[in-house]
Structure 1
Amino acid sequence: MKFTIDVLGIFLKVVIRVNKVTFAPLVVSALFILLTSLLAHCARRLVQKAVQEPFVRLLLEEAIAAAELCGCCFELIIVADNFGVGTYAIFLFLLTIWWSMNWGDATACPYTHIEDVIEGKGDVRKALLKTWAELTGGLLVFKYVQMYWALEISETHKDKAFEDCKADLQVPVLYGAVVEGVATCLCRLASKALGDLNPRFSTAIDAFIGTSLVVAAFEYSGGYFNPVLATSLKAGCEGHSLLEHAVVYWIGACAGSALSVYMYKLPIIKKFVRGTTEVNGDSIWADKED
């Protein structure tokens, strides 16, 4: 606890000094994201040392990962609104790489557990418990974000802490569900292929594909591709009902994920994945010589 308070104190001193000297709200946002990631990293290490039961430890890691994901993405909304989608994409790309390297077995995403059930790698009870843990972390983290926004250290945070939120869905509900579903399916197919092929820089490639799909869907559905993330950030916001939210961000994304499991087993997909891919005569795959 003392370590956390000390870190928070140092953080506030830095951001206040930076803001007074340079008036750089983007730096303030970046430092908040760094703080959130640092606190999540420390919490993850504490759980790994203190909790011996593997499944309980995984549940706590899922909650921490979801809190980190949603906490950072709350701030990414500020970045996107004030500095554009391009800056948002750079932050998201780097964060996706960080999450891939630090979350371990946690995913902070319910449909990965649905995929495990379909493939016989998990059971429904455990999938539901993991989803509950992720929702808990994702929903509770807003109080932490709200506390920070209420300080209004940066001009971009002014009145944000208690502002009424607006939905990102800019298209009809069914269209939005299709966008989330198709993009999720493509994202999961790419991840599965990269997992099997294990190319060099696979983490960066996966992050680039995911970020590109998010940017492509940004003006349509918001490009969440994760029911917990969408619920934490946008459930109950003005612009759609909770039922419409569930159709787009839960049914759409989960259907796309489930579809990817069956599509990946198709012979044409298998043949494509096993094919040789070369760029200017140089292979990017780990098991081939350049």
Structure 2
Amino acid sequence: MLSLAVSLGFILLTCVLAQAGRHLAYKLVRQPFVRTLFLEGIAAAELCGVCFELIIVADNYGVSTYAVLLFLLTIWWSAQWGDASACPYTHLEDVVEGRQDLRRAVLKIWAELTGGVLVFRYVQLLWSLELTDNHEGRAFEDCSADLQVPVLYGIIVEGVATCLCRLTSRAICDLEPKFGAAIDSFVGTSLVVAAFNYSGGYFNPVLATSLKYGCRGHSALEHIVVYWVGAIAGSVASVFLYRLPAVQALVRRKLH
């Protein structure tokens, strides 16, 4: 139980530091778009930093414990991140729907990647303390890829699950149900668990790259195709699927 308490402490510390970073960004950065870039980078760093520790939790306490923590954390992030998403395809969806130009979307993705990649140094520092057996040797060990199926299946898993996640989020945004954040988190967490032993269930290119790019088990191209192309294709597909008359009719029926 001490090891789990340490992992929970690391997760809490990461969330507290990210919250402090957001406070400073709002206080010190006056230009709105520049502030947005900082907030995206902070959100991505928080997400990736926490998920590094969730890997430790999953390895030692099982996927069920991992899922409970992810469910609670997703609700927390939905309440704290504001307009930040820490996820590239949300910005590309805005481009497809005409709410944002491509240049701004690319800059936001760059900010997210920067935050996600840089946070590993912070994680290494925590792990190198080796406060428990679970962290011994983890700071500098070679990592292994989570893709356990052929690349084509991995693309399908990441793409379809991402599409379902985004359709759910869109419906919740329109319907505004009570406990909407919890419902969204439950669906997302359930899909992550379902895909855990196939692709790792990342459904977020920045998260997948920050945690697993360069790990042994697949090539760089395979990583990009599965976790970037697959997820983005699923996300963009959700934009058009949600516009289908049958889907819109179902949403309107629920609204009334």
TM-score where L is the length of structure 1:
0.87
1:11-46 CA distance string (max 9 Å, x none): xxxxxxxxxxxx511111001000000000001001
Aligned runs of 1:107-256 on 2, under 5 Å? 107-256=85-234
- Match of residue 62 from structure 1: 40
1:166-195 CA-partner distances (Å, limit 9, x unpaired): 000000001101100000000000000000
- Percent identical residues: 68
Q: CA deviation at 1:73?
A: 0.1
Aligned partners of 2:35 and 2:168: how far apart in 1? 29
Q: What is the alpha-carbon distance in structure 2 between the residues aligned to residue 180 and residue 47 of structure 1?
A: 33
Query: Which residue number corresponds to residue 282 of structure 1?
Result: none
Considering only CA atoms, is the larger Rg found in Structure 1 or Structure 2?
1
Runs of 4+ in structure 1 deviating by more than 6 angstroms, as ranges, are none
Aligned residues: 256
Find the aligned partners of 1:45 and 1:100 in 2 and give their Cα distance: 16
Q: Which amino acid aligns with 1:171?
A: V
Structure 1 counterpart of 2:126, one-letter code = Y
- Give distance in 1, aligned partners of 2:203 and 2:186: 15
Q: Identify unmatched segments of 5+ residues in structure 1.
A: 1-22, 277-286
Alpha carbon RMSD of aligned pairs, Å? 0.9
Q: Deviations over 1:21-76 (max 9, x none)?
A: xx511111001000000000001001101111000000000000000000000000
Aligned AA (2:211): L
Greater RCO structure (CA 8 Å; 6+ sep):
2
1:224-259: per-residue Cα shift (whole Å, max 9, x none)? 000000000000000000100000000000000000
Match of 2:29 among 22, 37, 51: 51
Cα distance between partner residues in 2 of 1:258 and 1:73: 25
Matched residue type, 1:248? V
1:89-114 deviation per Cα after TM superposition (whole angstroms, max 9, x unaligned): 00100100010000011100000000
Equivalent position of 2:250 in the other structure: 272
Q: 2:56 aligns with which of 78, 93, 100?
A: 78
